[in-house]
Amino acid sequence: MRDAGKAHWPGRAAATRRSHRAVRGLAGIAVLATTLVTAGGIADIAVSPASAATACPAPSTLTPAESASTTGVTSTSITVGNVSILTGPVPGLFEGAPIGVKAYFDYINSKGGVHGRKLLVDSKDDAFSSSQNETDTQEAIASDFALVGSFSLFDGYGCKALAADPAVPDVSVTLDSSTNALPNDFSVQPLALGASTGPLLYYKSHFPHDMTVGTIVSNVASAVTQWQGEAAALEHVGYKVAYVDEVSPLASDFTTDVIDMRNKGVNAVDLTALDWQDAAIFVGDAAAQNWHPGLIFSGGPVYADQFISHAGGPADTNGILVGQTQALYLGQDAAHVPAVHQFLSYVKKVNATWTPDLYTLYGWASAALFVQALRAAGAHPTRGAVLAQLKKITSFDAGGLIAPADPAAKKPSHCFVMMKIQNGTFHRIEPKTSGFSCSGSYFYASGSSS
């Protein structure tokens, strides 16, 4: 926990004062995880994902036989596994993850595949279950060449199986620190405790008088710990964190937080730790209380097609700033980033009714990273050969879709795009045309490696 003298940490049970109007908001933890580059879990049902890291053993020694494995490879195809949450309390929670992988593979297959082989996806649903995630991961390791683009709040439970067979490439955005640390894990957005200072310095320079921050964080140990990393970055650049409330991921009314923030003098609201649905509710609750803080910002979750309309429309959302490590992949950057058009068109071919989201993008980008290594491994790929190529990829941006990170060294990017909501639409304001701003640096909180 943070020092009580620095911030308000109520610690009260959110369920006692909030109306759970619907089962929603579970994605909020994953949003926090993937936007701040953190680990996640689920409230009462699942403090377990947060503790799963302690159950993951040290990786086994890679044997020559394991390295030479061609499991999942035939003369005409290569099959990879994907383990994601597809059903459960929120059906389709991370359905975008395998859709993104399939979309990128379809794009590659349309060009002849890789060394004449078509790429296939063995999609597995862990059904919001830690034990099922472990089982699915074990089955994928036994029958598929690699894991690609998986996304689950329970991926820490698959860590044990990946550690036991360190030749199996796992090219996925993980929420678990122990999985992230495995030598066979490669993420397009690696975990790190901290935050990029670039967006924070941008907010500070444009809103120098709005420096007292309030936020809401999911009440899970790992989410709280990772929020502390961002809080340290905020304080590092001069902000004062005055209000933090730990809430259930199922909360759906933030009126109390709005009132408490206003009473504590908050004039800068950080929505980064909320999914777009909860962020929309918060903005609506603030408008209902006629409270208009000078600065509202997010690290990316509010960049969703539905956010503006659900948050009250232009009147309530104008001026909200979004600093994120992804290009405007919903279409605004298509004219300058060809990969945006490719991403959207092939996702539509896989599922015509699917609205692309962050997890779809992660699936696509993870598949692109895997394919880069697979091609470099040659016409007769083995698991060991692909791992060796993944360890050489020190800069990766998925064709400009994401800010360049270092998957091999597990270092996140500090570069970003700044957006502003104006008249009901998202507008890129920094850099103005394309690319990413790499001003600032990545601030590593105390105890993490730089």
What mean pLDDT value characterizes the chain? 88
Mean pLDDT to the nearest integer, 404-408? 98
Domain locations in the chain? 14-39+193-329+413-444, 54-191+358-400
Decide if pLDDT at 38 tops 80: no
Q: How many residues does the chain have?
A: 450
Decide if pLDDT at 175 tops 90: no
What pLDDT was estimated at residue 273?
82
Decide if pLDDT at 12 tops 60: no
Kindly report the backbone phi and psi dihedral angles of residue 348, in degrees, each rounded to the nearest multiple of 5, phi listed first: -65, -35
DSSP-derived pairing of the beta strands 417-422 and 321-324: antiparallel
Among 54-68, 88-102, 210-224, 368-382, the range with the most confident prediction by mean pLDDT is 368-382
Q: Which of 144, 137, 140 is nearest to 119 (CA)?
A: 144
- Residue 229 Cα to chain centre, angstroms: 16
- Counting other chains too, the contacts that 344-347 makes at CB distance below 8 Å and 24 or more residues apart are 346/103, 346/104, 346/106, 346/107, 347/99, 347/100, 347/103
Percent of the chain surpassing pLDDT 90: 76
Decide if pLDDT at 78 tops 80: yes
Mean pLDDT to the nearest integer, 346-375? 97
At residue 221 the predicted structure's pLDDT band, cuts being 50, 70 and 90, is low
Q: Which of 243, 277, 274, 276 is nearest to 258 (CA)?
A: 243
What pLDDT was estimated at residue 342?
98
DSSP string, 134-175: HHHHHHHHHHSS-EES-B-TTGGGTHHHHHHSTTS-EES--S
pTM more than 0.85: yes
Q: What CATH architecture does domain 54-191+358-400 belong to?
A: 3-Layer(aba) Sandwich (3.40)
Q: Where are the alpha helices (DSSP H) in 237-337?
A: 255-263, 276-288, 307-310, 314-317
| Preceding peptide of 356 cis, ω within 30° | no
At residue 324 the predicted structure's pLDDT band, cuts being 50, 70 and 90, is very high
What pLDDT was estimated at residue 263?
98
What pLDDT was estimated at residue 447?
54
CATH topology of domain 14-39+193-329+413-444: Rossmann fold (3.40.50)
Decide if pLDDT at 3 tops 90: no
Decide if pLDDT at 253 tops 80: yes
At residue 220 the predicted structure's pLDDT band, cuts being 50, 70 and 90, is low
Decide if pLDDT at 188 tops 70: yes
Domains 14-39+193-329+413-444 and 54-191+358-400 share a fold: yes
At residue 153 the predicted structure's pLDDT band, cuts being 50, 70 and 90, is confident
Which residues neighbour 442 within 8 Å (Cβ) at sequence distance 6 or greater?
A: 192, 194, 195, 196, 197, 411, 412, 413, 414, 450
Answer for the pair 58, 157: CB distance below 8 angstroms, yes or no: no
Answer for the pair 64, 167: CB distance below 8 angstroms, yes or no: no
Sign, CA dihedral 424-429-434-436, equals negative
Structure tokens at 205: 């320079």
Mean pLDDT to the nearest integer, 13-31? 40
Cα angle at 258 between 255 and 261, to 5 degrees?
A: 150
What pLDDT was estimated at residue 396?
98
More reliable by pLDDT, 7 or 66: 66
What pLDDT was estimated at residue 228?
85
At residue 55 the predicted structure's pLDDT band, cuts being 50, 70 and 90, is low
Of 3-7, 338-342, 401-405, the least confident: 3-7
Of 45-49, 210-214, 237-241, 397-401, the least confident: 45-49
Decide if pLDDT at 449 tops 50: no
Among 48-52, 176-180, 359-363, the range with the most confident prediction by mean pLDDT is 359-363
